[in-house]
Every structure is written in C-alpha cells, then in structure tokens.
Structure 1
Amino acid sequence: MSELVIIQAMQSLTTRLQAVTTADGWQTDIGPAVHTGWPKHLILHQQIDPPVVAVHPSTDDRVSGQGGNIKSTRTVEIEVIASQHDTPPEWLDRALHDIRGALVGLDRDIPRVITAEAGSATWSELEDTALVRLIVPVTIDYTDHYGGPA
C-alpha cells in the first residue's frame, strides 16, 4: 500500500527543514531543532530545550472532487519557540527566511502535491514565560484518491 499524499508531503517538509544548517549555506541552524508534533508537548514532556521548531497539522479542508479524486487543502503550522534571553530578534527573521526557502520545490517532490506556500508569519510572546513564538502557516494543496483498498 502506498503512503498517503499528505503524509508524504509532511515528511518531505520536515526533512527539508531538518536539512537547514549554516554549513549548507542557510542563515540559521534550525535543522537539528525540527520535530513533528506540538511545541508544548516537545518542551514540557520531551524536555527539549528551545529553540524548538515544531511542525504540525492545523486544518484540512476538502476543496473539490469527482469520483475518488479529491482535492484538499492542508494547513500546517511551523512554530519556532525561542528564548527571549538567548535569541536576538533578527534570528527569528533569519529563521523565517530559511523556512520559506525550505518550501521551494516541495510541490515538485510529490506528484499529487499541487502547491505548497507559506502564509503570513506572526510573532508573539508566550504568556508567563521568557519564550517567543514565530508561527508560519503553510498551505499545501493536494489531490488524493479515495475509494477503498486497491
């Protein structure tokens, strides 16, 4: 059985982000900090120290379809959690640049991924902590086939 298109896309996105290092010409070394999952779980339960780059799904909407071919749109959030004390603000700008750069070509990696685009980034402080958060939504349009086992 072949892997679902959206799972392939999520894995490709994560792999691309994990390859972001200054040794390979990127602005930051976010690659080793990239994990799949939700940031609170990664920091509190897996005890991963910031910076943490969490890749997780946000929404998935059916857009259109005929027969068993359904076009859908998945929104993925890439959340960068960093320490206000250890991270200069311009580092988050560099991380955003690298995240957007890592998306280039994702739509060519998997045949049924139509587009993969970064949306508007937002920054915020996490309440009652010394942490800041950068959220980059990524929209992945894809087509999958539904119809039961082959």
Structure 2
Amino acid sequence: MTSESSAPSLHHVVFAVAPERHDTVAQMFTDLGFLVQPAELTELGVRVNLDWNRGIEIISPLPGATAQVAESVNRFLAERGDGIYTVVLQVTGASAAEAVAERYDATTRFRQKLDGNGTFLEEIDLSVLGLPLTLLDTNIP
C-alpha cells in the first residue's frame, strides 16, 4: 500500500518557449500571480523561470548552447513551436518508475542525478505512449 506522502503526484508543467518570447511569457505568468524565479542552467544550456510551489516552469535554450537538454528544447521548438514540453511527475524512486515506463516502450531523452549536502534529485525525462513525461524524485522543496 502506498502512503499519501509517497504517492506519486503531478509536480509541475514545463512550457518550452522561444528565447525571444521568454521574458514576455514569464511576465504573463507573473501578472497571473505566479512567482517564477529566474535561473540560467548553463550546464544544461537552458534558461528557466520556475515556480515549483505553483507548478509552472518556463524553459528556453541559451543561444548557441549544445548541451543535450538545449538541443532537445531547440528540436521541440523547431518542430512544434511554443508549448508543453513535459509534465513532471513526483515519484518515489525515479529509476523504478522508469522501469514501469519501459514496459510501455518509453524512450529516455535526458537524465540527471544530483546528491550532496543533504539533498538529492533524480530526474528522468522520457516519452512514453506519445506522452512527454519527466519522473522526478527529490527532497528539494
């Protein structure tokens, strides 16, 4: 039986937007009452504005970035334009959840794992049954 605290849940939705529209989209969400904090994740090649508490992330590739995530976002924008890039699900044990998704022929696009100073994060971005999902296991609030 799954306890309520370890039950999977919807964590946030990630919107990919072209770099030239990033500030406008962030301002719109701010005007709606979201607190989208800016960050530049140079190792991933992306700029984000994130409000985890209210479930919104805006992501854009950094100009000229060649990191795997930046290339994936660039490809998404070229093929589809601005839109929902992925839906992030909070799970206990991202690798175990990935094994479930693999039973449905999931294709992993990106993974990262951070651990240190009492915090951990494991994130697996994949496509399964045509759905863009990210499996997230973290103790970062």
- When normalised by structure 1's length, the TM-score is 0.30
Provide TM-score, normalisation by structure 2. 0.31
Structure with bigger gyration radius: 1
